[in-house]
Structure 1
Amino acid sequence: MAHQYQHIKFHYQNGVGHIVLNRPDTLNSFTQVMHDDLKAALSFLESREDLRGVIITGTGRGFCAGQDLSERKPLPSGQKRDLGEGIDKNYRSLVLRLRALPAPVVSVVNGVAAGAGASVALACDIVFAVKSAKFIQAFSKIGLLPDAGATYVWPRMVGMQRSMGAALFATPVSAETAEQWGLIWRCIPDDELESTIASVHDHLAHGATRAFAATKQALYASGDNSLEDQINVERDLQRELGHTDDYLEGMIAFGEKRAPRFTGR
């Protein structure tokens, strides 16, 4: 029986999966139902041999406000809640599965991204954000630390001082500042949200899929490798790409001075 999505919208077209967080009345905050929806969507995407990319965005005026705190109300009689359980059950697999997909995952942030919502957006391979969007590490306001991979991603992308400031003071980082810092790829005008999603879809659906996947793999491997080790990674992946249909098509198209027609094989 096909999964019935309740808190996300999901469709798949031309090898590109579109995930739309869909709880606009709560700024698309995470619930267990939403996590279950996301797990089902990721299982579908992981099963597709024709996968060429994924786009994640939100409905309404927010991308995602993080965890829905109404699902974490204080327990009776002074009992303590195990917040690590939620990370193990949901956020760990969500972030790691997005990272492991053999195709680019692009988040198009349509509004505020706070807490775990910011973490998930920034865990994607490429991030676009509308000018009115903000990234907020709001955890300190409720006595917690950034999670869902935030303490891994932020220092690597923007350095320790900016990461500390954003986390300890919970200061919103505008999309324009995020672009200047290198936290996101591009800040776009608000009225270009839909056209950007369409453009990204077209690029992923018709691009050199195997090359995209190899690029993603190599770039993420570089953080733990020496220069020599990284060159070896490039060599091995380049060897594989040299046997693909897309490489042959790319070379023929270059010689014929036309746009290549990549098939993802």
Structure 2
Amino acid sequence: MTTEDAREMIIGDGPVLLTYGEGIANIQLNRPESANGFNIDLMKALQEAIMTVHGDKRVRAVILSGNGKIFCAGGDVKEFLSKGEELPNFLRMATAYLQICVSGLVNLEAPVIAKVQGFATGGAGLGLIGIADLVICGDSAKFMAGGTRVGMAPDAGATATLTKMVGFRRAMDLVLTNRFVEAQEAERIGLVTRTVPDEDLDAEVWKMARMIAAGAPRAQAATKRLMWNGMGRGFEASLPDEAREVSALSGTKDSLEGLQAVIERRAPVFTGE
């Protein structure tokens, strides 16, 4: 039986699948016939999956993946074109849903690991890379911004996250030239965390997810929150928040377990208490 076979299906048969097992939730975009392109139905389903994960205390790590050969090719261009003169009104609604989704993923307490195969392009595809806490991609993966190529602009928070990840000059290069970035360059410039052989991608993502799921959940949630909040703050402004979190966490059972494990030279067993 494979890992996937052993997982509990929570949401299925729609544009987003949600499975759970081993303390890990897998949120999978499920429009492979459309390169997992974002439309309203997918975004509504993604929001539902995120809220389900948010309310599930069993979840200690989240994998964000795409069904099929492509992670996500951005927005559903065919649907955009079908709106004709109503496209501006449609996109106002669509971007509102998209903002709710990416904000929800950032605000999940469990770290989010993006598993990227094939292409991650357009506002949605590259935007999801930007808001994931960790990104592991196959060595044939390719990345592209794509917004200005169709006369639009980056969205899904990419204008904020890209500059923090790769620097202002590289970010401007990516969003203005819309060139494809190969996996090895993506790792070198900080767009992704790690590149692995395509055939090892699934195993490496699950290995990372299991390692995260075995960690102290409250400490990891606090660390994630501090890191994201710190993106928009100066050094001095971050210090009080760090002090408060460290002090609060030091009174948890997980903290005491971690300290004791160091003394006893063993692996800690965290419970989230």
Output the TM-score relative to the length of structure 2: 0.90
Question: Which runs of structure 2 are paired with 1:18-37 in the superposition (5 Å)?
Answer: 18-37=26-45
User: Cα deviations across residues 51-108 of structure 1 (Å, max 9, x unaligned)?
Assistant: 31211111222100011122222545x55532232111x1100110011111211111
TM superposition shift of 1:150: 1.0
Q: Does 1:158 align with 2:166?
A: yes
Structure 1 gaps of 5+ residues are none
2:211 pairs with 1:203: yes
Equivalent in the alignment of 2:3: none
The aligned residue for residue 63 of structure 2 is 55
Aligned length: 262
C-alpha contact 1:3 1:40 (8 A) present in aligned 2: no
Q: Secondary structure at the match of 1:62?
A: coil
Give, in angstroms, the shift of residue 172 of structure 1. Answer: 0.7
Residue 260 (str. 1) matches residue 268 (str. 2): yes
Q: Identify which of 97, 107, 112 aligns with 2:114.
A: 107
Q: Report whether the alignment pairs 1:143 with 2:131.
A: no
In the superposition, relative to structure 1, how do residues 224 and 146 fare at CA in structure 2: closer, same or farther (>3 Å)? closer
After superposition, where does 1:1-265 map in structure 2 within 5 Å? Answer: 5-75=13-83, 78=85, 81-82=88-89, 83-88=91-96, 90-115=97-122, 116-265=124-273
- Please tell me the residue identity of whatever aligns with 1:200: M
- The 1:107–1:240 alpha-carbon spacing in structure 2 relative to 1, beyond 3 Å, is same
| Contact kept in structure 2, 1:5 and 1:37, CA below 8 Å | no
* Correspondence for 2:5: none
In the alignment, the residues of structure 2 paired with residue 79 and residue 96 of structure 1 have an alpha-carbon distance, to the nearest angstrom, of 26
Q: Matched residues in 1 for 2:193 and 2:205: separation?
A: 14
Work out the CA distance in 2 between the residues paired with 1:79 and 1:255.
65
CA contact (8 A) 1:20 1:59 kept: yes
Q: Are the counterparts in 1 of residues 218 and 272 from structure 2 also a CA contact under 8 Å?
A: yes
Amino acid at match of 1:250: G
Task: Report the alpha carbon displacement of residue 224 of structure 1 after superposing the two structures with TM.
Answer: 3.4
The separation in 1 between residues aligned to 2:83 and 2:201, in whole angstroms, is 41
Change over 3 Å in CA distance of 1:198–1:4 after alignment to 2: closer
Q: CA deviation at 1:205?
A: 2.1
Which residue of 1 is the match for residue 7 of structure 2? none
Q: Deviations over 1:3-32 (max 9, x none)?
A: 654112211123321011122222111122
Classify the secondary structure of the residue corresponding to 1:9: strand
Q: Is the deviation greater in 147-156 or in 2-11?
A: 2-11
CA root-mean-square deviation = 1.7
Deviation at 1:46, TM superposition (A): 1.3
Quote the sequence identity (%). Answer: 34
Q: Distance in 2 between matches of 1:102 and 1:81?
A: 34
CA displacement 1:165-219 (0-9 Å, x = unmatched): 1111110111111111111111111111111122022112211111111111111
CA distance 1:75–1:112, change in 2 (3 Å): closer
